[in-house]
Amino acid sequence: MIQSNDDTDLATDTRGHAANGKGPSGARTIRVRIKRADSHGKNVRWEEFKVDLPSAGERDGAINVIACLQQIASNPVTVDGTRSTPVTYESGCLEEVCGSCTMVINGKVRQACSCLVDDYAPNDGDLITLEPMSKFPVVRDLWVDRSRLFKALASVKAWVPIDGTYDLGEGPEETPDEQQTRYKLSTCMSCGCCLEACPQYTLEEDESKFDESFVGAAVISQARYFNMHETGATMKKQRLDTLAGPGGINNCGNSQNCVKVCPKEIPLTESIAAMGRSVTLHRIKEFFSGR
């Protein structure tokens, strides 16, 4: 009979919950090497920390890179014994749905929260390296400024132009197939992986140049998403105008890196191809209408 939660540590003791079975079961220490900076290009340096991982039976489930950063934050001492500061990074949901924690881990861009150390550093003494994304200005350490991505969403009018929040009945009907296609596109969490991986997407620090810089795969795919919606399509022309202009779809060199790194497996190249066709048709139409 339960008398209190901590009679048996029941509420807080969840040791032994499966921790992505792949790693070794014993306790071990790994090294985490982090590229730090006070702001973009300022005091750029590498720091290395040790992180202790409990044995499988003592673990509260999976250990990810965020848990390592949390451990470092509570006692930020580098391997050579120097007292440092907690590492700055963005995080939110911790379950790969908010897009906050994108960084470059062992050379590959991805979310830190879904990056399990057993996959990346299975042995005692293994090293994990963390770097900020290179296509965005660094705010501090692993935190980068992705406002260009959000601005680009506005430039393609990534919304359905509804007539306000009044009670006006249901939206347009759609088939389950259409829904499934739109759903997939709608899971884009603006994480920036596809932009980091894209050879055509380059760092731009000057906000006034955002408009003419490449919008990137995520935004092209979002334009497609809204063009697919019956009401959203009423703004198709404006979206295609933007994508036909500077920074638009012509900047894409079709290297297909983007689709390989998207954590949500969004069919980005399909979106790019579809929007490429739409833009071409749009141009022809504009040409014949004499504009």
Partner 1 sequence: MVTPSAQQRVIVVGGGLAGLAATIRIAESGMPVDLFSLVPVKRSHSVCAQGGINACNKIARQQGYSEYEHFDETLYGGDFLQHQPPVYEMAQWAPKIIDLFDRMGVPFNRTSEGQRALRLFGGSLYKRTHFSGATTGQQLMYALDEQTRRYEAEGKVNKYEFWEFLRPLMDDQGVCCGIVAQDLRTMQIRAFRGDAVVMATGGPGLVFGKSTNSVMCTGAAASRCFQAGAKYGNPEFIQVHPTAIPGADKLRLMSESARGEGGRVWVPAKKDAEGRWQPHPESGRDPRQIPTEERWYFLEEKYPAYGNIVPRDIATREIFDTCMKGFGVGGGNMVYLDLSHKSREELETKLGGIIEIYRKFVGEDPVEVPMKIFPGVHYSMGGLWTQYSPNRKYDEIAKKLREINDPIEARNLPVQKRNNEILQRNYEIDQQIADLRDKGGSDDEVQKLEDSKQTPEKLEPYVSLADLHGKDALPVGMDPDAPNNMMTNIPGLYAFGEVNYQYHGGTRLGANALLSCTFDGLFCGRSVVNFVRERAHTPAASLPSSIFDKGVEAEESRMKQLVESSGGENPYEIAKELGLEMTASSTVIKTGPRLEQSLNKLEELRDRYSRISLSDSGFWTNQNLSWARAVGDMIALADPIVRGGLAREESRGSHYRTDFLGRDDSRFLKTTVAEFDASTGRSKISFEEVERGLVGPRVRDYSTTKKSKAQVPAPTSADDPKQSPRVSDPNADVSGARDVRAPGDSEKVSS
Residues 85-124 that bind ligand FES (CB under 6 A): 91-94, 96-101, 111, 113
Residue 64 binds to ligand FES (criterion: CB under 6 A): no
Please report how close the Cβ of residue 181 comes to ligand SF4 at its closest, in angstroms.
15
Residue 161 binds to partner 1 (criterion: CB under 8 A): yes
244 binds, among ligand FES, ligand SF4, partner 1, none (CB under 5 to 8 A by kind): none
21 binds, among ligand SF4, partner 1, ligand FES, none (CB under 5 to 8 A by kind): partner 1
* Among 70-78, 122-130, 203-211, 271-279, the segment contacting partner 1 (CB under 8 A): 70-78
Residue pair 38/88 in contact (Cβ under 8 Å)? The answer is no
Residue 187 binds to ligand FES (criterion: CB under 6 A): no
Q: Which is nearer to ligand FES, 64 or 222 (CB)?
A: 64
Q: Which is nearer to partner 1, 80 or 177 (CB)?
A: 177
Q: Check the CA dihedral 18-24-25-31 and report its sign.
A: negative
How is residue 71 written in tokens?
């451990």
* Among 26-34, 125-133, 162-170, 207-215, the segment contacting partner 1 (CB under 8 A): 162-170
Phi-psi region of 157 (alpha: psi -120 to 50; beta: other; left: phi over 0): left
Angle 272-151-222 from CA coordinates, rounded to 5°? 30
Q: b/e for 175-200, b at 16 or more Cβ within 10 A?
A: eeeeeebbebbeebbbbbbbbbbbeb
Residue 160 binds to partner 1 (criterion: CB under 8 A): yes
- Please give the backbone phi and psi of residue 117, each rounded to the nearest 5 degrees, phi first: -65, -25
Q: b/e for 97-106, b at 16 or more Cβ within 10 A?
A: bbbbbbbbbe
38 binds, among ligand SF4, partner 1, ligand FES, none (CB under 5 to 8 A by kind): partner 1
- How buried is 25 (Cβ within 10 angstroms: 0-12 exposed, 13-18 middle, 19+ buried)? exposed
24 binds, among ligand FES, partner 1, ligand SF4, none (CB under 5 to 8 A by kind): none
* Among 83-91, 125-133, 202-210, 267-275, the segment contacting partner 1 (CB under 8 A): 83-91
Site string for partner 1, 176-205 (x = CB under 8 A): xx-xx-xx--xx-xx---------------
Q: How far is CA 234 from CA 179, 181, 214, in A?
A: 19, 19, 24
Tell me how far apart the alpha carbons of residues 49 and 34 are, in angstroms, rounded to a whole number: 8
